Structure 1
Amino acid sequence: MSANPVEVAPIEAVAIGASAGAVQALLHILPALPADTPVPILIVVHVPPDRSNALVTLFQDRCRLRVKEAEDKEAIAHGTVYFAPSDYHLLVEAERTLALSSDEPVNHSRPAIDVLLETAADAFGPALTAIIMTGANHDGADGVRAVAAAGGVVIVEDPATAQVPTMPTAALAACPSARVMPLNDILAYLVGLKTR
């Protein structure tokens, strides 16, 4: 008698959080993703509130995926990278649309990674992959706990190879079951999503 295979929910969205060192880490990942990546990628990078978010401009010409700043009430589209705008939290609503909020900062940050991950976990449940990369504070730790509780996949950049290990270390403390990967393996995971 053979055991029943474990059912694994297909991934429908990826949410990424990063802070100090984020640009270098994302430059390693995003330009290498194929144009037929079948999921949306929602990204919060800590950006000073008094500075316009130059990330979209930086990545637009380097990526095969569509790259844009998230807009309030926007429907989430596959094959698109959404960056949280400066000074706004990025949320995912139950009907899988995006929302922007000027609520108080969380972990001294707006946008905050926890806000994105917690709302995305509510919306996507086990169909969400959350990725925490390099950063210098604890933002994202509560979020990965919520993603894991909802049955989603949690990936944390290996603190030993992260430019700034504080954020990945905090995420691992909050979610010891997370998969720990260097950037090359995170990239391979994301490229592999198209075959799952």
Structure 2
Amino acid sequence: MTESGVDNLSAMEPVAVRLHAPSPDSFPVPFPVIALVASAGGVEALVRVLAPLPVDLPAVVLVALHQDPNRASQLAEILRRGTRLRVDVAADQMLMEPGHVLVVPPARHLLVTSEARIGLIPTGALPPARPSADLMLSTLAVTCGTRALAVILTGMGHDGQAGVHAIAHCGGTVLAQDVASSAFSAMPAAAAMTGRVHKVLSLDAIPEAILKHVS
């Protein structure tokens, strides 16, 4: 199912234009970080992306799914049942470690700090989207640089557009899910419209792309 008025992403595979080629050593986080961003239809998409990844994945995975800030979330438990990776709810000041999946809790925005730690701040009562993909990706961009991989999955709205620009500007890589495999295609389409998405892929092709990035 796709949303009306959204162009087919299969014809849109823009390549990010980089004004410079920053050195990986110029960014403080010393290992790859993969950010999976989703909204409507995202639980199934997240399970399918994480399931094929190996237990010794040499990267951290951050998961941001738009959620009701006033309801308890079972997302970490759902993902834990479908992956070999260790899955936990992110906590403030938690140290990021490869092979670990960290899920943003409801009512919090996630920041990536220069000490490779998690920062959590309250979302407040009003939008932006909660948690904000733009905020998470922007802090990831300036701390991880070329090691960062942003993956924009199914969802409504346009959260992630500014973050995609930040990731590409700092030398990172951006992937977007295609229309055919998206339950809701507005969010990945909005990412592709930035001209900063490196590849538009089917959902089942994304895990292989993640493995190529971290290798």
* TM-score calculated relative to the size of structure 1: 0.89
Higher mean C-alpha deviation, range 82-91 or range 152-161:
152-161
- 1:143 matched to 2:163? The reply is yes
Give the Cα separation in 1 of the matches to 2:23 and 2:206: 19
- 1:158 matched to 2:193? The reply is no
Please report the RMSD computed on the Cα atoms of aligned residues, expressed in angstroms.
2.1
- 1:191 matched to 2:211? The reply is yes
Q: 1:76 to 1:60 in 2, by over 3 A?
A: same
Higher mean C-alpha deviation, range 86-95 or range 182-191:
182-191
Unaligned runs of 5+ in 1: 1-5
| SS of equivalent residue, structure 1 residue 41 | strand
Unaligned runs of 5+ in 2: 1-20, 25-29
Q: 1:69 to 1:75 in 2, by over 3 A?
A: same
Query: What's the offset of the Cα at 1:161?
Result: 2.6
Between the aligned residues of both structures, percent identity stands at 34
Give the Cα separation in 2 of the matches to 1:187 and 1:105: 35
Match in the other structure for 2:153:
133
Aligned with residue 25 of structure 1, among 24, 39, 45: 45
| SS of equivalent residue, structure 1 residue 123 | helix
Aligned residues: 190
The runs of at least 4 consecutive aligned structure 1 residues that moved more than 6 Å come to none
Give the Cα separation in 1 of the matches to 2:22 and 2:140: 21
The letter of the residue matching 1:80 is H
Q: 1:176 to 1:93 in 2, by over 3 A?
A: closer
Match in the other structure for 1:61:
81
The letter of the residue matching 2:168 is A
* TM-score calculated relative to the size of structure 2: 0.82
Q: 1:75 to 1:106 in 2, by over 3 A?
A: farther
CA contact (8 A) 1:16 1:133 kept: yes
Greater RCO structure (CA 8 Å; 6+ sep)? 2
Query: What's the offset of the Cα at 1:158?
Result: 1.1
Query: What's the offset of the Cα at 1:53?
Result: 1.5
